[in-house]
Amino acid sequence: MHPAFSVVFFTTATGAGYGLLALLGVLGGLGFIPAHFWLGLIGMGLALGLIAAGLLSSTGHLGRPERAWRAFSQWRSSWLSREGVSSVATFIPAGLFGIGWVFFGRTGGWMAIAGFLATIGAIVTVCTTGMIYASLKPIAQWHSPYTLPGYLIFSAMTGSVLLNALLQAFAISPTAVAVAALLLTLLGWGWKLATWRYNDALEIATTANTATGLTGGTVRSLEWPHTEENYLLKEMGFRIARKHGAKLRRITQALAFALPALLLAVAFALPWPFAAALSVLAAIVQFAGMLVERWLFFAEAKHTVTLYYGR
């Protein structure tokens, strides 16, 4: 029993992809990034590729993937449905922006408008993804003021580190992007530490007594309500040893934040191509670290239904 890798990869890949897309859309539209053919092709291809790979990965988590299209009809009440609608809608301006950049060599005019719309769509989609988890009241670790901002911060962080690596690879090294990548990585680190501190101090008022309405004595389970593990236990009832959790937190801090920040800082003092190599390495290491961070995000979540199982 462990968090599904499909969901872990989905949240990591789409977060980085939408972060990169948002930055390409706004910075390209403003002319801050040159409309270079290969830069546009690889940059937009990487952003849309990460998004598409993440979305496809998420379908593997469904019990009946062929029915995934039905989720789009519930956008009035479901954050999951809103995420699906906004993710598909974002591809339209993103595709137009990419076509203008790659085939026409321009990012101004109507292409700039498409880029700005793609940026807005990317931000909205990340918000809907964050709200899927932040809206779940039975899971105190997710239903907190840290979840939604965390999604936005991590998306901007990974997107900026990817953009910096991309620009450095093409010997385009605007200092502002490198500084933003470093500062956002440090901000993400601080936000993650604050989130862990908040979750560790949680005092959940719900107990087996309050859940069942029985106030006399201590309520405990004599046996499970059913003979097999259900969906909630598999997805939100994972038990991780304290020593393993502490080790994985250290790995997360090292790979997702500390090492990328160090590599980005050292890259400032080195000439190209060494700065480019360190920037690319920082992006790769951070992506690996965010996979561990997302795994912990799901593994450390506890649904109150586990009270019925003596957990």
Give the separation between CA 138 and CA 301, rounded to whole angstroms. Answer: 10
Where do the H-state alpha helices sit in 30-146? Answer: 37-59, 79-104, 110-134
The residue written with tokens 């598409």 in the block is 52
Mean pLDDT of 130-151: 90
DSSP code, position 146: T
8 pLDDT more than 80:
yes
254 pLDDT more than 70:
yes
123: helix, coil or strand? helix
Grade residue 289 by pLDDT with cuts at 50, 70 and 90: very high
311 pLDDT more than 60:
no
Grade residue 68 by pLDDT with cuts at 50, 70 and 90: low
Strand partners, 303: 139
What sign does the dihedral 125-128-134-139 (CA atoms) show?
negative
Tell me which of 82-86, 221-225, 237-241 is least confident. Answer: 237-241
Give the separation between CA 61 and CA 48, rounded to whole angstroms. Answer: 21
pTM (predicted TM-score): 0.88
With helix as H, strand as E and coil as C, how does 160-188 read?
HHHHHHHHHHCCCCCHHHHHHHHHHHHHH
